[in-house]
Amino acid sequence: EAQVTQNPRYLITVTGKKLTVTCSQNMNHEYMSWYRQDPGLGLRQIYYSMNVEVTDKGDVPEGYKVSRKEKRNFPLILESPSPNQTSLYFCASSSEPRPTDTQYFGPGTRLTVL
């Protein structure tokens, strides 16, 4: 089954404790992306990647890191989480390097930073 998976689905952590949210897709997609969704602000793009070893900042990259060492994986790293990073996070992928095609989203990760 074609899908985007994220782990963990739910996470409660404390300020300053480094964490990684994993994202994996099995569709051989070139383009991958991370978003956060907050009430009243909609989805905002954090980082995206056009291909292996190619990553670019989105709208709200501060406080986040990503890596793309393999085509299928695109982890999101919070080196020192803060309460304002409490949010719902989505990973997405699409087939084209220029993403004019459908984006497939993972199920989301609910993160709470205390």
Partner 1 sequence: RKEVEQDPGPFNVPEGATVAFNCTYSNSASQSFFWYRQDCRKEPKLLMSVYSSGNEDGRFTAQLNRASQYISLLIRDSKLSDSATYLCVVLSTGNQFYFGTGTSLTVIP
Determine the Cα–Cα distance for residues 54 and 63; give it in Å rounded to an integer.
Answer: 19
Given the complex with partner 1, which of 40 and 62 has the nearer CB atom? 40
Q: Kindly tell me which of 17 and 110 has the beta carbon lying closer to partner 1.
A: 110
* Least distance in angstroms from the C-beta of 76 to partner 1: 15
Chain contacts with partner 1 (rule: CB under 8 A): 31, 33, 35, 37, 40-45, 48, 50, 56, 58-59, 88, 90, 97-100, 102-103, 105-108
**Could you tell me if 88 and 110 are in contact, meaning their C-beta atoms sit under 8 angstroms apart?**
yes
Residue nearer to partner 1 on the CB measure, 39 or 69: 39
Q: From the CB of 82, what's the least distance to partner 1, in Å?
A: 22
Q: Which long-range contacts (CB under 8 A, 24 or more apart) does 95-98 make?
A: 95/27, 95/28, 95/29, 95/30, 95/31, 96/30, 96/31, 97/30, 97/31, 97/50, 97/51
CB of 112 to partner 1, least distance (A): 14
**51, two tokens:** 């291909």
Nearest-approach distance from CB 18 to partner 1, in angstroms: 26
Cβ atoms 18, 65 nearer than 8 A: no
Nearer to partner 1, 44 or 65 (CB): 44
